Structure 1
Amino acid sequence: MSVSDPQLDPRGVRFAAALTTVVLAIVLLTGSGWLLAAQAVVFALAAFAGPRFAPYPLLFRTFVAPRLSPPTEREDAAPVRFSQLVGFVFALVGTIGYLTGLAALGVVATAFALVAAFLNAAFGFCLGCEMYALIHRFRTDRTTQGASA
């Protein structure tokens, strides 16, 4: 994950989470492994290439952001990219489940991703970002303890 990612408009992150919520709800309603595979690609683009190259942030920048006032705050892209990586893993597992006939696996993985996306879209609470902060804090504590030993 690149340190050179620009700061993100949190409204764009929530917009992407809202679209993700809709897609994942449709997956649960239809059982479409192919739609979940498409969402996995969206997650992968955001996680590996960065939000600049992902379709949902592009839609936000093109159609929504010009109609809004400039953001009053920005957020670091690294936790968001990590959350997209977590979403990618759940979507990949769900896709494998749906496409191999293990529908229960597909449903459970999709439901976990849906809950996380909904929390971000509705309340601005990013589970993946919180995981990122905990991992970062743990790694920093371990490094500090190792240096003092």
Structure 2
Amino acid sequence: MTTPAGLDPRGPRFAAVLTTIVFVIVLLTGSGWLALAQAVIFAFGAGNPRWNAFALVYRYLVAPRLAPPAEREDPAPVRFAQAVGLVFTVVAAAAFLGGATVLGTVFAAFALVAAFLNGFFGLCLGCEAYLLVRRLRAA
């Protein structure tokens, strides 16, 4: 069976909900190690959004129980958003692990807000930034 072109848009939203939970825990505990684990998840997603851990959970445990998506989305903006999340999360992890808890808290909080907006409202800030960069390059 081949994978259809494009992403099921519910997959990145599902991943964003799980990411929101991770960042809430990071902020409550100040765990740089958990932030680092989330960074690894973002790294896989930046390479291919279908292969981050949360996307795999969605694909194999959630999607089979749902009707097929009405439409699919371009993976490029999601890849870009995962890369932006990776940068914020690496800074947060390094800050927490290095003892700069204020910096870690700020970067984890920004990542939390972005994940929350995507997961609960479908507003992907990284995807919007990707589209803005493309428009600016075309101008």
TM-score by length of 1: 0.89
Letter of the structure 2 residue corresponding to residue 92 of structure 1 = V
User: Which secondary structure does the structure 1 equivalent of 2:103 belong to?
Assistant: helix
Residues 56-71 of structure 1 aligned to structure 2 (within 5 Å): 56-71=54-69
- State the alpha-carbon separation in 2 of the partners of residues 67 and 53 from structure 1: 19
Residues 97-116 of structure 1 aligned to structure 2 (within 5 Å): 97-116=95-114
Letter of the structure 1 residue corresponding to residue 11 of structure 2 = G
Give, in angstroms, the shift of residue 51 of structure 1.
1.6
User: Which secondary structure does the structure 2 equivalent of 1:72 belong to?
Assistant: coil
C-alpha contact 1:27 1:35 (8 A) present in aligned 2: yes
Moved over 3 A (4+): none
- State the alpha-carbon separation in 2 of the partners of residues 105 and 92 from structure 1: 11
Q: Is 2:4 aligned against 1:42?
A: no
Q: Which has the larger radius of gyration?
A: 1
Q: Pick one of 127, 130, 133 that aligns with 1:132.
A: 130
Residues 1-149 of structure 1 aligned to structure 2 (within 5 Å): 6-48=5-47, 50-141=48-139
Alignment length (residue pairs): 136
RMSD between aligned residues: 1.0
TM-score by length of 2: 0.96
User: Which secondary structure does the structure 2 equivalent of 1:125 belong to?
Assistant: coil
- State the alpha-carbon separation in 1 of the partners of residues 43 and 5 from structure 2: 18
Gaps of 5+ in 2: none
- State the alpha-carbon separation in 1 of the partners of residues 73 and 130 from structure 2: 13
Gaps of 5+ in 1: 142-149
Give, in angstroms, the shift of residue 6 of structure 1.
3.9
Superimposed CA distance per residue, residues 49-93 of structure 1 (whole angstroms, 9 cap, x where no aligned partner): x02221111000000000000000111000000000000000000
C-alpha contact 1:98 1:106 (8 A) present in aligned 2: yes
